[in-house]
Structure 1
Amino acid sequence: MMQQQLQAMLALQDEINTLVNDNWREQEFAWYRAIWVESAELLDHYGWKWWKKQQPDMDQVKLELVDIWHFGLSLELQQGRPEKVAADMTAELAAMQAAPGDFREHLEVFTLNTLASRQFDLVGFAQLLADTGMSFDELYRRYVGKNVLNRFRQDHGYQDGSYIKNWAGREDNEHLAELSESLDASSSDFSDLLYSALASRYAEANTAAV
Structure 2
Amino acid sequence: MNKISQMLTLQQELNDATNGKGWEKGITKNGKLIDWKRCIYLECAELIESYPWKHWKNIDAQPDYDNIKIEAVDIWHFVMSQMLQEYRIEQKGSIDTLTSIIESLPNYQAFTQESDAGQRDSYKQITVVEALIRVLFCQESSEALMIAFIEVAIQSGLTLDTLYRL
Aligned residue-pair number: 140
Deviation at 1:131, TM superposition (A): 1.4
Query: So what's the TM-score if we normalise by structure 1?
Result: 0.60
The answer as to 2:22 corresponding to 1:23 is yes
Q: Which amino acid aligns with 2:95?
A: P
Structure 1 residues 109, 96: CA separation in 2 closer, same or farther (over 3 Å shift)?
Answer: farther
Tell me which amino acid in the other structure corresponds to 1:4.
N
Asked which structure has the greater RCO (Cα within 8 Å, sep 6+), the reply is: 2
Q: What is the identity, as a one-letter code, of the residue corresponding to 1:69?
A: W
| Structure 1 ranges of 4+ moved more than 6 A | none
Q: Which structure is higher in helix share?
A: 1
Find the partner of 1:91 among 97, 100, 104. Answer: 104
Deviation at 1:95, TM superposition (A): 6.0
- Pair 1:131-2:130 in alignment: no
Deviation per CA, 1:109-147: give whole Å up to 9, x if none.
Answer: 1111112236651111111122122111001111xxxxx
- Higher Rg of the two aligned structures: 1
Aligned AA (2:66): D
2:130 aligned to 108, 124, 134, which one? 108
Task: Give the fraction of aligned pairs with identical amino acids, expressed as a percent.
Answer: 30
Instruction: Indicate yes or no: 2:92 matched with 1:59.
Output: no
TM-score (normalised: structure 2): 0.75
Alpha-carbon RMSD: 2.2
Where 1:22 maps in the other structure, the secondary structure is coil
Query: CA separation in 2, counterparts of 1:71 and 1:103?
Result: 20
Contact 2:107/2:150 (<8 A) preserved: no
Give the secondary-structure state (helix, strand or coil) at the position aligned to 1:92.
coil
Which AA in structure 1 matches 2:126?
R
Q: What CA distance in whole angstroms lies between the structure 2 residues aligned with 1:95 and 1:66?
A: 16
Contact 1:96 1:123 in 2 (8 A): no
**Could you tell me how far 1:51 is from its partner in structure 2?**
2.0
What stretches of structure 2 of length at least 5 have no aligned partner?
Answer: 28-33, 88-92
* Pairwise CA distance, 1:43: 0.5
